[in-house]
Structures are given as C-alpha cells and as structure tokens.
Structure 1
C-alpha cells in the first residue's frame, strides 16, 4: 500500500483497461495534453485490471514499463484480474480457471494459443517462461494494492474508509464490493473501478470509473485538482 502525505497539483485516475492498449494510448494522450496546462508534478494512477479480455496486454505492459510522460508520474495498482494472472504464472495447474476469465486473450497477446487441448503443466510452464518477458512478470508481481493521497483513496475494487490503511485486507481491495464505502462515516473518498457503470457516478464517498472499456470502447479517467473538490472526466467516448 502506498501513501502520499500531500496532494500533487493534479491526479488523473484511469479505470479498468483490460488490454485495450489502443484506448489507453488515446486517453493517455488526452491526459498529457490536459496536464500540460497545469504547472507542477501530476500523478497518473491506473486502478488495476490492466490485463485480460483483450489482446493488447503485452503492448500495454511494454508501454507502462517505458519512461513516464514528461511532468507526469504513473502508478499502476493491482486489480483482481492482475492478481489472477500472477497466481496462474506461479501455479498454472492450480489456476487454470483464469483462462476462462479473459486469461486466454492475455496469453494470445504473447503469442500463446492453448486451444482446446489441455497442455501438460510442464510444457505450459516452459511456454510461459519463454513467452512472457521477466520484466512483465516482475511488473505484475510488484503492483501495489492501494494508494492514499490526502482525503482520496485509490483502489481497484473497495476500501473500508473507516479503518486505517494498515488494517485493509487484500481481498477487499481487489475483489470487494465498492458499496462498502457508501456506509462510511469518514470524509475520505474512494476512487475505484471493478464494477461497470454506464456513466461515472459521483457518490458522497466514492467515484466509480469502470465503463467496461473492453466491450464498450469507452475508457474513462477522473481528474482531481489540488484545492478543488469537484472532479472532471476525460474519456474515449466519441
């Protein structure tokens, strides 16, 4: 879990990408152009689920491993699909269910097409080792689960806003029900993805920005400015 004591001049948080590298490139360019008019360091947070469901995963991770845009610092959080991929890479025999949750498309982005036949575990481990770059594995394995910045909390799925950061559990952060934040007495605000919305709703304690990019073509980011409470949105929506 990450923590920043003070708010940067601007934060941009992006919802679930699910391998739509094409959409992310468009949205990131919008963010860079928007951020150019704001002096100071800007933070760009990806809220997890960067893998699965689409074939652009390997290209997306290559891009995220490249240097950050000038004046913008990227932080990628871990979503439940990213976690499932990590577990599969560690133990493919015990986590084959991931393949039916979008994992097959992820492996296809690395040139791996398992087909209908059940690939022997030893063979599959060798294919994974030779096809997925070590840097991609290290990147996924090292993703933080959450980030707090002032009164804002960023996590893929949910967060108990009434508990201190040290008492949050990984299951809630990656898999939990975002509506947990609706019952909070805290004034903190959760920024999350995980649950697909038609539009990014603004609730008293949370903002949801998963627009189902992999099937709708709409990838959304929320912009938060220091000293301003109200958010703004950027999107690939036509």
Structure 2
C-alpha cells in the first residue's frame, strides 16, 4: 500500500493514523518530488511524482493519497492500471477534472494571477498573498529556516488545475472529503459520477487524521478482497 502526501507534512509524518495498517499491509509512505528533508525544494513535476508512485508499487498495490498527492495517484492509475488495484483519495485536488465547474472556476480565477506572478515575488511575499487569498489572513515574518523552506516549496508548487488527468474506468475508488469547502466537494461529486464512492468525514482538509476518516479507509480495503 503506497501513501502519497499532499502539501505540508510528507513521508510517514503525513499519515499518523495509517501506520496501524502496517500490521496487514506493506505500507510505503512516499516523498513526492522536491520534498527531500535535507535538500532544497524543487518545482512541481507531475510526471516525476507519478513515477515515484509507480516505482514503489512493485507488482501492484493500493494507493492512498491526499490533496495534491491525488494527482500523481490518478496519473499512476492511468499509466499502469495493471499495478494500481484501488485508489483512496482524501480531499483530492484534482482540479483539472473539474476545471469548468463553478467552484473550481472561481478558485482558478482567484489564484491564477498569483501563480502567474510567482516568479516576480519573494517566497515570503508569495506566502502572504497565497494565505490571504485562501484564508483571508496573512502570516507574520518567517523566523526559522523550516518556515523559509516551506515558503519556498509553496511558491514552487504548480497550479493543480494544470495537471494532465483523466479518469480510470472501473477502478475501485474511495473519495473522502470534509464537507467544509465547495472546491473539494465538487471534485468528490464529479468523481462519484465516474463510479467512485464519495464519503464525508470531519477533519477539515485532513479527514484522514480523524478516526472517522481512517475508519472509512479501513472499511473500504476489505471490500476489495471479496
């Protein structure tokens, strides 16, 4: 079972509740391209992320992904449907699938100018404007090297609606959203029209960190063995 993180935490730290699955599954907690803990952040590379997922699947397995990590998870399933046995997507940022739907379109119109200008901004300037557009607040000065590194990584992230995505027909897929943000509900509802199971669990943008969200994953996996 391969776990693909979203923004912020990466590797095993991004999946604190899912470690318990290691008693039954061979669990691999990946780091996406540019998320090495001791190296400088790198720009988003959707293809590199996809190949990281595929390289860790061995002869095949289940893929569990969060937010932006769902992009490479879906790309891996399209590239090698013989290896990806199921997808579980928590709050998937698969916005290229819903580009023309209302919530995604509004999000793109709000964020696109900032993405276009990021080469002209410092990391701190970008972080402040991104936070303002996303949450209506601006963080204070960056005081530690970790904060500065995370700000750099954020500025280097590609817009999720730019990812080359398509649907994998017939693949067992569970989508879990938190019910707090129309953007992710729109993605979840769209994927449900393609055959995915869409469920809700509390936890804002990280429902996998709550017992309810983890429980949905734990209940979904045995159905794949029937």
Give the TM-score category using the shorter length: 0.3 to 0.5
TM superposition score normalised by structure 1: 0.34
TM superposition score normalised by structure 2: 0.36
Q: Write 1 or 2 for the structure with the bigger share of helix.
A: 2
Q: Write 1 or 2 for the structure with the bigger share of strand.
A: 1
